[in-house]
Amino acid sequence: MLTNIIKQGVTYSWLATIADYPYPASAGWSLRLVLNPRAGGSVITINSSASGDDHLIQLAASTTATYAAGEYGYEIYAIKSSEQYDLEAGQLTIRPGLLLAAAGTDTRSAAEVGLDNVRAMIRGTATQGVKRYSIGGRELERYSITELIQLESKLSNDVRGEQAAAAMAAGRPNPRKLHVRMGRA
């Protein structure tokens, strides 16, 4: 029912039909969406409004603009008087929206930043060829080329995974899957 990404400063609207459960809005039931930041912070609670038997959950752009970016756990409850039933739970991410971003905001993921840094280190290490050195009693040890190449491979896979997830979330096919059609010529 819920998307896995919410961008700050964007309007969202979900119409929830709960066909498998007897919780129609017309009978006084409402839904409550609770967002809990995984790294700590203020819990966000959103209540639905009735739309016939369905439940309408709306988030105004001015409201999402105030949400702190980060990872959140969420739960959705059906509520009527003193009754409260758990319907759905999961994880979602609140991301900065470009509408609200300052000029020059870095929109890369942590994996993309790490990959760019590792590639820069590989270029710098390849030209210097020094792993450890000491200056004035202070010692510095660098990653070996082998360690950097392993880290680059891991971060490249992470970035490709993020790109595949973003493509699928946007309704495009998974770019990591190769589709083959076989037939007779």
The per-residue pLDDT for 16 is 86
Query: Domain count of the chain?
Result: 2
Maximum distance among all Cα pairs of the chain, rounded to whole angstroms: 78
Residue 38 within a domain: yes
75 shares its domain with 34: yes
12 shares its domain with 78: yes
The per-residue pLDDT for 9 is 92
Residue 31 within a domain: yes
CATH label of the domain that carries residue 65: 2.60.40.10
The per-residue pLDDT for 46 is 95
The per-residue pLDDT for 44 is 95
11 shares its domain with 80: yes
Residue 179 within a domain: no
12 shares its domain with 79: yes
pLDDT by residue for the chain (185 residues), tens only, comes to 567 889 999 999 988 887 767 889 999 999 999 999 998 889 999 999 999 999 999 999 999 999 998 899 999 999 999 999 999 899 999 988 888 777 887 878 888 988 998 888 888 765 555 566 667 778 767 777 888 889 899 999 999 988 888 888 777 877 777 767 777 76
**How would you label 57-82 residue by residue, b for 16+ Cβ within 10 Å and e otherwise?**
bebeeeebeebeeeebebebbbbeee
Q: What does the mean pLDDT of the chain come to?
A: 85
40 shares its domain with 116: no
E-only strand ranges, 27-131: 30-37, 44-47, 49-51, 54-59, 70-80, 83-95
pLDDT digits (tens, 9 = 90+) for 67-85: 998 899 999 999 999 999 9
89 shares its domain with 20: yes
The per-residue pLDDT for 63 is 95
Is the pTM for the entire model greater than 0.85? Answer: no
Residue 66 belongs to what domain range? 5-95
Residue 177 within a domain: no
Residue 101 within a domain: no
Residue 184 within a domain: no
Rounded Cα–Cα distance for residues 178 and 185 (Å):
21
Residue 103 within a domain: no
Residue 160 within a domain: yes
